[in-house]
Amino acid sequence: DAKTTQPTSMDCAEGRAANLPCNHSTISGNEYVYWYRQIHSQGPQYIIHGLKNNETNEMASLIITEDRKSSTLILPHATLRDTAVYYCIARLYSTASKLTFGTGTRLQVTL
């Protein structure tokens, strides 16, 4: 699985959009980009994933650059409950599957 690089921490004002970047410059054509988050010692929570196209669900949007070397997770209207560590993971589809978590980005949403 390709290595991903994320900023260590970010701040966002409540109600504003939170844009979390992820670099995965060595990603291969059949590796997916996954985003999970972990709210203080709770189990990680799946947010969204994509391969080539941009994706949107009820939680967030995922924007993948055309060359697939980077992506951005967008939380359109961040709330205090979105304060968490966000993990960007590049994963090759396999039935012998594992997600490799890095250190992630600690997002602090403030009033």
Give every strand in the sheet of 61-64, ordered side by side.
18-23, 70-75, 61-64, 55-56
Interface with another protein, residue 8, by CB under 8 A: no
Interface with another protein, residue 80, by CB under 8 A: no
Interface with another protein, residue 44, by CB under 8 A: yes
* Shortest distance (Å) from residue 98 CB to another protein: 4
Q: Compare residues 73 and 87 and give the one whose CB is closer to another protein.
A: 87
Q: Give the list of residues 6+ apart from residue 9 with CB closer than 8 angstroms, or none.
A: 105, 106, 107, 108
* Shortest distance (Å) from residue 12 CB to another protein: 23
Q: Give the list of residues 6+ apart from residue 102 with CB closer than 8 angstroms, or none.
A: 3, 4, 6, 87, 88, 89
Q: Compare residues 14 and 61 and give the one whose CB is closer to another protein.
A: 61
* Shortest distance (Å) from residue 95 CB to another protein: 4
Q: Which residues bind another protein (CB under 8 A)?
A: 32, 34, 36, 38, 41-46, 49, 87, 93-103
